[in-house]
Amino acid sequence: LSLKFGDIGNLKGLVIRLLLTTSYYQLSVQNWFSLHRLQLLYNHSVQATFNATGIHAPATDSFHCEHVSSLQRYDALLVPSSANDLSQLWEVTFIDFQIQGFNVQDGHFAHARDCASFSPAILMGLVMSLVLLLVLAYALHMLIHLKSLDRHYECKASPAYFAQMKDSDMGDEKEPLRNSGNESYELRNQQFGKIYI
């Protein structure tokens, strides 16, 4: 695929040549296309050659990337083919790059396979997973440091208090006992115990 700039000022003789290939992969059971090499020609002379890395997509789709560049700050998808080449003197950056080598229909790109390693959906999923892991770690920390009661805990009963009864109540509760001449009474209410007078 050759891109010619035509009669645009100093770029009149500049041509960008993209070498695309297609291959069949049994694992995905479909054809894929790849961009292998990019060449810059000026007045029919090759000025620079870059090897492309990671620029591939299914043959029925297109490939899209925000930046395809030879610069490290854009992940350098274009690598100079040789240290002795003039490619070291060139800096190439394509902004909003989209390419489809095969199966182009009606002059429109097909569905784009993006080069972004983290889409917003993946990023949100990772953030939510991190939050859930932090909550789980905190819960485990609280369970581990939970202090339980001593197993040999002895329950000590509180002292019992007997309610004081009035004399009027005592008359109903007293029953005379037949004993050896002494006057004695027994309380009928057993919850206060037996008291002898």
Residue 130 has pLDDT above 90, yes or no: yes
Domain ranges for the chain: 2-116, 118-154
Nearest to 47 by CA among 16, 11, 12: 16
Report yes or no: 87 and 113 within 8 Å, Cβ to Cβ: no
Q: What pLDDT digit, counting tens, does each position of 137-180 carry? A: 999 988 888 776 655 555 555 555 555 655 555 555 555 555 55
Average pLDDT, the chain: 76
Q: Tell me, yes or no, if the pTM score tops 0.85.
A: no
Report yes or no: 41 and 24 within 8 Å, Cβ to Cβ: no
**Confidence category of residue 40, pLDDT binned at 50, 70, 90:** confident
